[in-house]
């Protein structure tokens, strides 16, 4: 019983009220707690029909037909403005347990045992998904490197207007250094995608013909990383470009894998420009 | 001699040769590239490359021009073969068009640019 009291937040709220009423309400809380055990599952059945409140999905699809676990159950027809007495408490009760898509009562049991530090072997009622989530939580806290999420945080490219018809990427050298790629290669990819001309200055600054902004260039950078920088096996960024027998390879230092990659090919329209000039010259 | 089965000439690679011929055609995966080029200020051109020669490009062009309300032409490129050009930024409508007409799947289209 003590466990349930800790979980319920409604008690905290009632502490704000004057002292006299607290004594009375402490008694009623226990009653209401007992009621809650029975009422909450009943309520589910009222709204949505039987057999949907619990089960594999638990409360995920129970009440509102939407995933409560994602915080969508909050604030929709509940708890807006003033709610009275039991309705308030029940909603808050459900909010606490919205963290996972599991039946409420089982979650309460888990929490208490987890806090007391019991071993898993002593409680064979754990389900596979519960254990998985617990495992990944502890992994993230203690060893964030070993998780499969490799968030490669890149700096934003500084895109500046270089005159009326040119754009300048001031960050180019830093970006290429972070990606471990030659600026020539990166430039040629940009130019093939944008179908324009450009060059690199002595300071490592890229100049591209045409007016572009950061929102145009960032998706191209992302695509470059996905194709030429990120390893397709382990999704790490510690890679290098190698050329072997006229083929480009992306070699990963994390997992020692080699994947082939196509070279950069420009489109047709650039050639058409030259054709126009030829035609004009002939005249 | 052909009556005696043991003396029949049997070429075990007959069937395989036909298969390899067809395989070489299909094994080379040529995706269709859609690119955009800016012409003057806001004006743009889309180019469609690598459409296989099985299709009648003129009919395709005609339908696209009517659907997207734009002008276009076919250009012969030295390196890339025949290329369709359309005025305006028509990458997404063209991609949907190609998928609807079952010319390629979503995988066979590669969109370049912004």
Helix (H) or strand (E) holding A104: helix A104-116
Using pLDDT thresholds of 50, 70 and 90, give the confidence band for residue B67.
Answer: very high
User: What pLDDT is attached to residue B79?
Assistant: 79
Q: Which parts of chain A register pLDDT below 50?
A: 1-14, 21-28, 31-49, 51, 53, 67, 71, 73, 75, 77, 79, 83, 88, 108, 270-271
Q: Cβ distance A64 to A71 under 8 Å? A: no
Q: Which CATH number fits domain B29-111: 3.30.780.10, 3.10.129.10, 3.40.50.620, 3.40.50.720?
A: 3.30.780.10
What mean pLDDT value characterizes chain B? 81
> Tens digit of pLDDT for each residue in B33-62?
898 888 877 888 999 988 888 888 899 999
Q: For A195, which of B35, B75, B83 is closest by C-beta distance?
A: B35
Residue A271's nearest CA partner among B110, B76, B31 is: B76
User: What pLDDT is attached to residue A79?
Assistant: 47
- Alpha-carbon gap, residue B20 to B8, rounded angstroms: 25
Q: Which residue has the tokens 């799947």?
A: B105
Judged by CB atoms closer than 8 Å, whether chains meet at A268 and B83 is answered as yes
Can you read off the two tokens belonging to residue A28?
A: 């009623």
- Alpha-carbon gap, residue A253 to A69, rounded angstroms: 39
> Tens digit of pLDDT for each residue in A237-257?
888 998 888 889 999 888 888
Q: Cβ distance A220 to A194 under 8 Å? A: yes
Scanning B7-36 for CB atoms below 8 A from A yields 33, 35-36
List, in sequence order, every residue forming a beta bridge with B49; answer none if it has no partner.
B33
Task: Give the start-to-end residue ranges of the domains of chain B.
Answer: 29-111
B44-49 and A159-161: which strand pairing?
unpaired
- Residue A213's SS3 state is coil
Scanning B55-84 for CB atoms below 8 A from A yields 75, 77-80, 83
- Alpha-carbon gap, residue A53 to B78, rounded angstroms: 67
Section B60-84 average pLDDT = 88
> Tens digit of pLDDT for each residue in A80-114?
555 455 554 555 555 555 555 555 555 545 555 55
- Alpha-carbon gap, residue A163 to A3, rounded angstroms: 69
């Amino acid at each position: 019983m003590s466990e349930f009291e800790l979980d319920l937040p409604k008690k905290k709220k009632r502490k704000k009220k004057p002292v006299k009423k607290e004594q009375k309400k402490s008694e009623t809380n226990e009653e209401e707690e007992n009621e809650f055990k029975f009422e909450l599952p009943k309520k589910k059945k009222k709204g949505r029909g039987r057999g949907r409140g619990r089960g594999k999905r638990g409360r995920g699809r129970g009440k509102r037909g939407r995933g409560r676990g994602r915080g969508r159950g909050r604030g929709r027809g509940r708890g807006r403005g003033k709610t009275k007495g039991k309705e308030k408490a029940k909603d808050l009760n459900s909010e606490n347990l919205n963290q996972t898509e599991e039946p409420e009562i089982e979650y309460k049991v888990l929490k208490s045992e987890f806090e007391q530090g019991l071993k898993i072997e002593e409680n064979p009622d754990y389900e596979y998904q519960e254990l998985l989530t617990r495992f990944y939580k502890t992994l993230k806290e203690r060893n964030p490197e070993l998780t499969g999420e490799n968030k490669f945080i890149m700096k934003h490219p500084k895109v500046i207007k270089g005159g009326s018809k040119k754009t300048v990427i001031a960050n180019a050298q830093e970006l290429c250094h972070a990606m471990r790629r030659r600026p020539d290669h990166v430039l040629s990819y940009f130019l093939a995608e944008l179908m324009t001309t450009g060059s690199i200055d002595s300071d490592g600054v890229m100049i591209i013909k045409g007016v572009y902004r950061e929102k145009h260039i960032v998706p191209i950078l992302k695509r470059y990383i996905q194709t030429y920088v990120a390893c397709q096996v382990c999704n790490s960024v510690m890679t290098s470009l190698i050329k072997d027998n006229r083929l480009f390879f992306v070699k990963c230092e994390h997992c020692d894998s080699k994947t082939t990659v196509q070279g950069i090919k420009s489109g047709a329209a650039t050639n058409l420009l030259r054709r126009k000039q030829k035609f004009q010259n002939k005249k | 001699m052909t009556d005696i089965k043991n003396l029949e000439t049997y070429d075990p690679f007959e069937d395989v040769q036909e298969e390899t011929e067809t395989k070489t055609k299909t094994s080379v995966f040529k995706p269709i590239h859609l690119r955009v080029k800016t012409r003057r200020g806001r004006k743009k051109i889309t180019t469609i490359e690598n459409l296989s020669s099985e299709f009648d490009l003129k009919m395709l062009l005609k339908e696209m021009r009517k659907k997207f309300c734009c002008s276009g032409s076919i250009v012969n490129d030295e390196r890339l073969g025949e290329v369709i050009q359309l005025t305006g930024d028509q990458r997404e409508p063209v991609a949907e068009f190609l998928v609807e007409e079952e010319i390629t799947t979503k995988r066979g289209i590669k969109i370049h640019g912004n």
